[in-house]
Amino acid sequence: MAKIGFIGTGIMGHPMASNLQKAGHSLFLTTHHDPAPADLVAAGAVALANPKEVVQEAEFIIIMVPDTPHVEDVLQRENGVIAGLGPNKIVIDMSSISPTATKAFAAKVNATGAQYLDAPVSGGEVGAKAATLSIMVGGDSQAFERALPLFQSMGKNITLVGGNGDGQTAKVANQIIVALNIQAVAEALLFAAKNGADPAKVREALMGGFASSKILEVHGERMIKGTFDPGFRISLHQKDLNLALQGAKELSINLPNTANAQQVFSTCAAIGGANWDHSALIKGLEHMANFSIRDDK
């Protein structure tokens, strides 16, 4: 079993770390930002003062934090991850961050003799708890093979996409698809309800046809019931779409539908919904239409 440093035990990281612990791996946690979760410590995890101390104890160091600046801080702060690195250690960043920044972080980590894998995930809190995450990996194939048993304790669909940065590129692509599917479902249900049809019955009918999807199944139900506790926060999806739109600018391509979805998310944030689940994109459309598909009209 492996010795794993796990940095970032929030909505996603906590159940991911728990699944690694249940698989028999030893966990080392840091208290430099927040207290270590009591349940993980009670089950044997060791809480240490800073990332450097975690790295010195661990063979694998997993980072699961919200955004690019957070990863940069964890890696490069005084007593950060890089300060404790050396040969035979593997840093696995499972956050969703900039592909461009990821390549720079990887170069700094690899220069220490350690290896860097970017391994962002898809599947949300549900997938994190159930250990069914999709994991998109960028980095060295030998490092990937060493880390594969860890990935298998957290996910089901695990793919080595390519070199450093390619995992993050795949995740950005994933977030484009998810956002546009959420918007498609939201617009369809809004159209149906405004036209006098029962959106729950419309969803039921669509589930049996070519329009069926996981988004329609899970988030369509959330939209109808109005259950918008995260999940995956709108603010985080906005961050991911910003990465897509910034990347598009760098590549001189146009992503018009991605930009439109981002505008609807911005409407949600403007009416107080930055921390709603991203399925609440429908509330931005409802706000613009002055109409709700639920009984909370």
Residues identified as active-site: 171
> What angle in degrees, to the nearest 10, is found between the helix axes of 256-270 and 234-251?
150
What does the alpha-carbon distance between residue 103 and residue 100 come to, in Å, rounded to a whole number?
A: 5
Q: Are 114 and 137 in contact (CB under 8 A)?
A: no
Please list the alpha-helical segments (H only) found in the chain: 13-22, 38-42, 51-57, 68-76, 99-110, 124-130, 141-154, 166-194, 199-206, 214, 220-225, 234-251, 256-270, 281-289
Please give the Cα distance from 89 to 186 (Å, whole number).
45
C-alpha pair distances (Å), 214 with each of 178, 182, 296: 10, 10, 25
Check residue 59 and report its DSSP letter: S
The closest alpha carbon to 276, from 241, 232, 223, belongs to: 232
Q: Are 216 and 203 in contact (CB under 8 A)?
A: yes
Most distant pair of Cα atoms in the chain: their distance = 65
**Strand 90-93 to strand 115-118: parallel, antiparallel, or no bridges (unpaired)?**
parallel
C-beta neighbour count of 248 within 10 angstroms: 17
272 three-class SS: coil
